């Protein structure tokens, strides 16, 4: 071990924690010898360009690669930023030790960019008297993204750390850090299990990561999921996703100690921005009757859930209703009528359980103009709700930075919690059945995220990181769409066609051998 001469004198407990975590602190200049109680030089503006060890910060590399950490022009808000880069493989850490902190929970926020490809690139809070906390940097080569991580400080000290374990040419940028009192975390770490009942009825089986047989709900709960989402159709051709199946799967979800989100489609088939077809039984009904239909159907399903002891914790009134629901009467071309239908659903849900949260759900989660227009109208019409829910699939809906900008804006504009109610990513491109997958070409992938178990893990991780970073604790959580919809004959996408195939099995969280994939472990995120 190198001599400690010239280092700042950490209390023995902090030093022991540092050594236990494998962190060997680098020698500091006299200017940096005394740790402060506040983070300094947070925008890396004090030294100009080309400084390997910015004022207030320290740099360490076991291989003597300190030069891989440096300041340069091109800050997010000021003139400079911190960068990690080298033309050869490198490991480097840029850190700042804080002392004299009051014990409590603190949050680090930072604006970051990364070209991806590193073995590891993350922010960390370590030597804080509790378990180290990390947040990985998302892949975002052009736009800045804010990320957060929080930790419990015990003993008054904490190290703020920026870390790279990188290959030649990999890079990251960091700027505008803040270390403040408060905590972060996600209340919803969910899985949509709408296809599970039919999948199992047609022979699907599930395994843990080691290949042992297991109940898929229990496996996902064991990985950290705490919410189950179930869609409801009115009278589908295959008889699935009706009240009966929702009741049965809700029992399994609640038995695992998970909460329940019920997603009303108000249709016999898929409802989304391009299709909001009325149920056949309601086809000839007047607008006034449709309001009654919505109320009665919503109340019936939710009251049955309550009666069996599985009250819904959250309810979506409509699914991806960018363009309204129950066309044509409930189209966004007639907001007064759409609002009336939404209010009927909300009233029914609250009549069953006043504590049930109401979510309104749109797709295209990166489209801020859409969300402003839609929720401005909902507000003007007096529609009551608790949560703004978004679908966000990066291969369709834009960059993570667009998702963040939209989440930040609408949560502040409407004073609501926000959540990603649907996301997913492929772990491979080929199909297990004969049906072509929705995402099956390299050109369809999000840049920086491969179709691999690691790429799928990184995608879920980074979407969760973006939601967690929504200011003022308004980032509620993330639901992964259909993680258990594996390829089994008979459970295809079309409820009217028993021979239809599955276009989604390569985005499930169970692989082609039915084993739980590593992405599921991100549900154990804060």
Please, what's the b/e burial string for 109-118 (b: 16 or more CB within 10 A of its CB; e: otherwise)? bbbbbbbbeb
Question: What pLDDT is recorded for position 30?
Answer: 30
Q: 3-class SS at 421?
A: strand
> Does the pLDDT of residue 28 top 80, yes or no?
no
CA dist., res. 184 & res. 473, Å (int): 7
> Does the pLDDT of residue 486 top 90, yes or no?
yes
| pTM for this entry | 0.92
| Segment 116-134 mean pLDDT | 97
Question: Residue 412: pLDDT band by 50, 70, 90 thresholds?
Answer: very high
User: Which among 4, 62, 61, 63 is positioned nearest to 28, based on CA atoms?
Assistant: 4
> Does the pLDDT of residue 18 top 70, yes or no?
no
Q: Where are the alpha helices (DSSP H) in 2-91?
A: 12-20
Question: Residue 37: pLDDT band by 50, 70, 90 thresholds?
Answer: confident
231-278 pLDDT, tens digit each: 999 999 999 999 999 999 999 999 999 999 999 999 999 999 999 999
460-471 pLDDT, tens digit each: 999 999 999 999
Q: Is there a contact between 107 and 160 (Cβ–Cβ < 8 Å)? A: no
Strands, sheet with 158-166, edge to edge from the N-terminal-most edge strand = 58-60, 90-98, 158-166, 120-126, 133-136
Q: Is 132 known to be catalytic?
A: no
Question: Residue 35: pLDDT band by 50, 70, 90 thresholds?
Answer: low
> Does the pLDDT of residue 429 top 70, yes or no?
yes
User: Out of 320, 329, 468, 482, which one is annotated catalytic?
Assistant: 320
Question: Residue 36: pLDDT band by 50, 70, 90 thresholds?
Answer: confident
User: Among 15-24, 85-94, 109-118, 434-443, which stretch is predicted with the lowest mean pLDDT?
Assistant: 15-24
CA dist., res. 66 & res. 91, Å (int): 9
User: Which among 401, 402, 404, 396 is positioned nearest to 426, based on CA atoms?
Assistant: 396
Question: Residue 370: pLDDT band by 50, 70, 90 thresholds?
Answer: very high
> Does the pLDDT of residue 159 top 90, yes or no?
yes
Query: What tokens appear for 266 in the block?
Result: 């108000």
What rounded mean pLDDT belongs to the chain?
93
Question: Residue 27: pLDDT band by 50, 70, 90 thresholds?
Answer: very low
User: Out of 422, 468, 482, 505, which one is annotated catalytic?
Assistant: 422
90-118 pLDDT, tens digit each: 999 999 999 999 999 999 999 999 999 99
Q: How far is CA 509 from the centre of its chain?
A: 15
> Does the pLDDT of residue 21 top 90, yes or no?
no
> Does the pLDDT of residue 10 top 90, yes or no?
no
Q: Is 72 known to be catalytic?
A: no
């Amino acid at each position: 071990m190198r001599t400690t001469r010239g280092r700042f004198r950490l209390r023995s407990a902090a030093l022991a924690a540092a050594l236990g975590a494998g962190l060997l602190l680098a020698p500091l200049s006299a200017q940096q010898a005394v740790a402060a109680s506040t983070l300094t030089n947070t925008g890396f503006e004090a030294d100009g360009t080309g400084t390997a060890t910015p004022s207030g910060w320290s740099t360490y590399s076991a291989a003597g690669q300190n030069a891989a950490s440096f300041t340069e022009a091109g800050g997010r808000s000021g003139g400079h930023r911190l960068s990690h880069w080298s033309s050869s493989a490198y490991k480097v850490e840029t850190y700042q030790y804080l002392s004299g902190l009051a014990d409590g929970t603190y949050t680090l926020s930072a604006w970051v960019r990364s070209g991806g490809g590193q073995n590891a690139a993350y922010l960390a809070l370590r030597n804080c008297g509790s378990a180290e906390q990390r947040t990985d940097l998302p892949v975002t080569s052009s736009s800045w993204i804010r990320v957060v991580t929080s930790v419990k400080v015990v003993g008054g000290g904490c190290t703020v750390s920026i870390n790279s374990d990188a290959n030649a040419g990999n890079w990251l940028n960091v700027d505008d850090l803040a270390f403040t009192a408060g905590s972060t975390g996600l209340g919803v770490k969910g899985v949509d299990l709408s296809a599970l009942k039919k999948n199992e009825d047609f022979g699907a089986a599930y395994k843990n990561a080691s290949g042992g047989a297991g109940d898929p709900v229990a496996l996902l709960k064991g990985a950290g999921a705490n919410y189950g989402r179930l869609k409801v159709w009115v009278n589908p051709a295959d008889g699935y996703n009706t009240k009966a199946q929702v009741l049965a799967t809700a029992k399994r979800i609640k038995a695992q100690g998970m909460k329940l989100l019920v997603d009303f489609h108000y249709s016999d088939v898929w409802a989304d921005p391009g299709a909001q077809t009325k149920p056949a039984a309601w086809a000839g009904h007047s607008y006034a009757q449709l309001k009654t239909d919505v109320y009665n159907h919503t109340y019936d399903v939710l009251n049955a859930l309550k009666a069996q002891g599985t009250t819904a914790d959250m309810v979506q009134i409509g699914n991806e209703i960018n363009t309204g629901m129950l066309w044509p009467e409930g189209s966004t071309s007639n907001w007064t009528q759409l609002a009336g239908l939404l209010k009927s659903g909300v009233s029914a849900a609250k009549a069953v359980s006043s504590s049930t949260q109401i979510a309104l759900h749109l797709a295209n989660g990166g489209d801020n103009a859409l969300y402003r227009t839609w929720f401005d109208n909902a507000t003007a019409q007096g529609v009551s709700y608790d949560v703004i829910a978004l679908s966000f699939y990066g291969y369709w809906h834009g960059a993570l930075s667009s998702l963040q900008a939209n989440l930040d804006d609408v949560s502040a504009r409407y004073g609501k919690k926000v959540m990603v109610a649907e996301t997913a990513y492929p772990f491979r491109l080929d199909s297990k059945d004969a049906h072509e997958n929705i995402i099956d070409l390299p050109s369809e992938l999000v840049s920086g995220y491969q179709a691999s178990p690691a790429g799928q893990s990184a995608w879920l991780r980074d979407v969760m990181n973006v939601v967690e970073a929504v200011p003022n604790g308004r980032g509620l959580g993330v639901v992964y769409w259909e993680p258990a919809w594996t390829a089994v004959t008979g459970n295809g996408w079309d409820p009217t066609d028993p021979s239809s195939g599955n276009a989604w099995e390569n985005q499930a969280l169970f692989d082609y051998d039915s084993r739980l994939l590593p992405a599921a472990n991100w549900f154990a995120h804060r």
